[in-house]
Chains A and B, each alone.
Chain A
Amino acid sequence: MTSQAGTGTEPAAAGGSASSSLTLESVRAIAKKDFQDSVRSWLFWGLSVFFFTLMAALAGFIAWAEPEELTTLGFISLISQVCKLVIPLIALVLGWKSIAGERETGSIKVLLSLPHSRKDVLVGKLLGRTAVLSLSLGIGFVIGMLAVAFAVTEFSFPAYVAFLAMTILYGLAYMSIAVSLSSVTRSTTMAGAAMFGVFVLFYIVWNSIRSALGLLMRRGYIDGVSYMTTTLTGQQREMTRLPDWALFIDMIDPGTAYQNTITLFSGLSGENIGTTFNEAAFPNGLPFYLQDWFSLAILLFWIVVPLVVALYLFDRGDI
């Protein structure tokens, strides 16, 4: 080892930086510290109270309205509408400063002065913040359940727990996006801009894509797929739908993917609500990438890919 001294003229040391390793104990230590830290933040509790209030109001309204034959999945799909919109907001706000903020105040040097790698920091932060988010989700779901359980005929606890797990997975996907972006930006201002960009992308841009594609199809720029369907009055009608690839683009949005996975719980609650896409519209069968299980894969994609890219970038360059 000491032989390395005196070999300073070797150019090899210049560009090649050692990629750091990932250690379980370090990840755990950082996640624990980050959880302790974030769970005491007013910002977190502010967002949580907002979420709890929404859940209580929604569940309370459903219980008050007492719709006939409200099933567990019916309730879940109502709640999922709210979660789809609110969770990204909470995750982006919670994850925004996770690493950029520590870089700005320099406290990241406290973390990295200890025997942790940069990868440990990234993964530990992601898990710590997701744990905090999950705590909020868990409490919110209990509130929702207490308010509505008696209004639902045969409330399926397993389906509800599975839905909570899927919601946490959805939160993890947005947290992965948030923490990853926070790690590759140098200031909280830049990180904030990136969070806003993500918000605009998935709340506005992606939602417009489907309408835009529909418009293009009606104008004849995109060839739609025609199929026969039976209307309520029993008549056969020809319908046109977007081609498979256009439907797939819509599915890539994490929020859409999250909602599509809900049908996966029909087995747990003993209900059959069918699949996201009307099977009659696919006479040749549903391509695998439009099947509901693939939405789960898309959700996993949004967890893994931003993180992997960030792990690579954060490991290079200077803190």
Chain B
Amino acid sequence: MPAITVDNLTKSFGQTLALDDLSFQVEEGEVFGFLGPNGAGKSTTINIVLDFARPTSGDVSVLGMDAQQHSRAIRHRTGVLPEGVDLYDRLTARQHLEFAIQSKNADTEPERLLERVGLVDAIDKKAGGYSKGMAQRLMLAMALVGEPDLLILDEPSTGLDPNGAREMRKIVREENERGATVFFSSHIMEQVEAVCDRVGILRDGEMVAVDSVEGLRDSVEGGTTLRVTVDRIDDDALQAVRSLPDVGDATVEDRTPPTIVVTVDGSKTAVLSTLEDRGIEVRDFSTTEASLDDVFQSYTTDTGVHAR
């Protein structure tokens, strides 16, 4: 049984279409990275999963239950770290956690939860005086109350320094090892690649790719970019390079001496030998691996390398 099933989900706000026939599944026990630029519809999706917002059409089921009909039961077994929300300024971390513990009928000590997120020193300080990072840690602790089966973390690294982000990923792994499914949204690829089993990329309300991190890397042309500086270039040679099986695209940068930019998946030497076979002198060449950021870019923008 999948932890989250989103089926043909559409959500419009007046004339604006926020989600367009979105479908995907999060499998039980996996860490799923929900990636997309700001405004892609990530929060809208999470809002519907948690019944904060109602779909225009389509179905969402969470932990095998309908997201609208059984929202309370779902949220009883789900830990949520909402994005961009304020805490209660006048209440302490302890009071926040006691409220969450009481709300979930859980049996946890506030101290233990705060130890995990590294906030135990501030347990009796009012949240009004917290930094963004401290507030984020407290909200993560609240999400962990009651050993939830599903964790929904909306942009959890917001406000965290690199060290805090690392600790957060550690907790995600620990929770996953305990058996929890983790649904993790972010607009930054590198934050999800380290922890996620699978990644879904959302763009303009549509899922443009769902795959493992390696799978995504492979799916993008320009896994490697080869730059070859030559003495001259002609159309014939360029066509020959383009027709090579491993080559995705080849363009010429207009300068002297000319540089050919080739995206390749496999053999680079084939490109070089094809050029040399046609009497073109290779003066210099370099390769660059596509970073995951390029992968993300390729799916979420119209420019740059293209998804196949």
Contacts and interface: CB of A to CB of B under 8 A. Distances in A.
Contacts of B102: 25, 29, 32
Contact of A107 (B7, B58, B85): B85
A299 B29 CA distance: 54
A5 interface: yes
Contact of B88 (A9, A23, A37, A317): A37
A65 interface: no
A107 B86 contact: yes
A20 interface: yes
A113 B77 CA distance: 11
A33 to B, nearest CB: 5
Contact of B85 (A40, A106, A318): A106
Contacts of A232: none
A278 interface: no
Interface string A127-142: 0000000000000000
Contacts of B53: 318-319
A284 interface: no
Given A1-B64, A1-B65, A319-B47, A113 B75 contact: yes
24 contacts: A2-B1, A4-B61, A8-B9, A11-B57, A13-B66, A18-B71, A21-B72, A23-B72, A25-B102, A29-B99, A32-B99, A33-B88, A36-B95, A105-B86, A107-B88, A109-B80, A112-B52, A113-B82, A114-B104, A115-B103, A316-B54, A317-B54, A318-B47, A319-B53
B76 interface: yes
Interface in A13-40: 13-14, 17-18, 20-21, 23, 25-26, 29, 32-33, 36-37, 40
Nearest to B142: A110
Given A18-B69, A33-B88, A37-B91, A5 B61 contact: yes
Contacts of B72: 20-21, 23, 115-117
Interface in A87-112: 105-107, 109-110, 112
B77 to A, nearest CB: 9
B108 interface: no
For chain A, the bracket of interface size reads: 35 or more
Nearest to B44: A318
A201 B23 CA distance: 50
A13 B57 contact: yes
A5 B85 contact: no
B68 interface: yes
A26 B103 contact: yes
Interface of A: 1-2, 4-11, 13-14, 17-18, 20-21, 23, 25-26, 29, 32-33, 36-37, 40-41, 105-107, 109-110, 112-117, 316-319
B175 to A, nearest CB: 16
B286 to A, nearest CB: 47
Interface string B149-175: 000000000000000000000000000
A172 B143 CA distance: 34
Nearest to B53: A318
Contacts of A5: 2, 5, 7, 59, 61
B295 interface: no
A25 B34 CA distance: 34
Contacts of A18: 66, 68-69, 71
B87 A8 contact: no
4 tightest Cβ-Cβ pairs between the two chains A and B: A106-B85, A8-B7, A113-B80, A8-B8
Interface in B1-47: 1-2, 5, 7-9, 23, 47
A258 B297 CA distance: 65
Contact of A33 (B51, B73, B91, B104): B91
A41 B55 contact: no
Contacts of A106: 82, 84-86
Nearest to A21: B72
Given A17-B68, A109-B82, 10 more contacts: A2-B64, A29-B102, A36-B91, A109-B50, A110-B87, A110-B142, A112-B75, A114-B99, A114-B103, A319-B52
Nearest to B88: A37
User: Which one of B9, B73, B82, B95 has the highest number of Cβ atoms from chain A below 10 Å of its Cβ?
Assistant: B82
B272 interface: no
Nearest to A110: B85
Contacts of B105: 25
Contacts of B82: 106, 109-110, 113
A114 B146 CA distance: 11
B230 interface: no
A81 B294 CA distance: 72
A318 B52 contact: yes
A20 B71 CA distance: 8
B139 interface: yes
